[in-house]
Amino acid sequence: MTKILNVNDLCDAIAASTLDDVTQRALIDALETSVAHVAKVLAGHYGTISEHAEYEGGFGGLCVNFRPACEGQECPDVIDEGDEGGDWIADVAKSAPSCSMPLLTGISVASAVPLQNAPIESATLNRKWLATVPPTQTIATTKSRGKTWRFPARMTN
């Protein structure tokens, strides 16, 4: 037989453990960071926005807030099923004015590909952009102008 803990039970066990406060906070921070990353990818997939993840023992556990990216946006079923009684209201100060406008954060000059909010898609598009756009400066042109800077000819990750 084994004991099975969900993420909230795991956070509760960390908080109630005899680990020192610094270690407890570091472990819970790691879980909050992981959950926030997962939430951001899910929110990006559905075109919504996720807020930070936070653990509050006794008050819901480890939670993430999701909100619409624009006024009038419907709540995706998978998010609504997690909190059927929760509010789904656009924060006008943080959101686009209406869903009729495209939800683009920018356009890549080289390939005219919309830049997405999801981290995985953004990384892929950034690599594609870096591969198609020639560098504006090279070590050779900088050296010929009498500068002493040292930097790579092309930035890549």
Confidence band (pLDDT; 50, 70, 90) for 118? very low
Instruction: Report the C-alpha gap between 140 and 154 in whole angstroms.
Output: 13
Instruction: Report the C-alpha gap between 79 and 66 in whole angstroms.
Output: 8
Structural domain boundaries in the chain? 7-103, 110-157
pLDDT at 132: 59
| pLDDT single digits (tens) 86-117 | 889 876 566 555 665 444 444 434 444 444 44
Q: What is the pTM of this model?
A: 0.58
pLDDT at 136: 52
pLDDT at 105: 46
Q: How much of the chain exceeds pLDDT 90, in percent?
A: 46
Q: How far apart, in Å, are the Cα atoms of 146 and each of 97, 139, 141, 149?
A: 49, 11, 9, 9
| pLDDT single digits (tens) 39-80 | 999 999 999 999 999 999 888 899 999 999 988 899 999 999
Backbone angles phi, psi at 65, to 5 degrees: -95, 135
Q: Cα angle vertex 37, ends 33, 42, to 5°?
A: 145
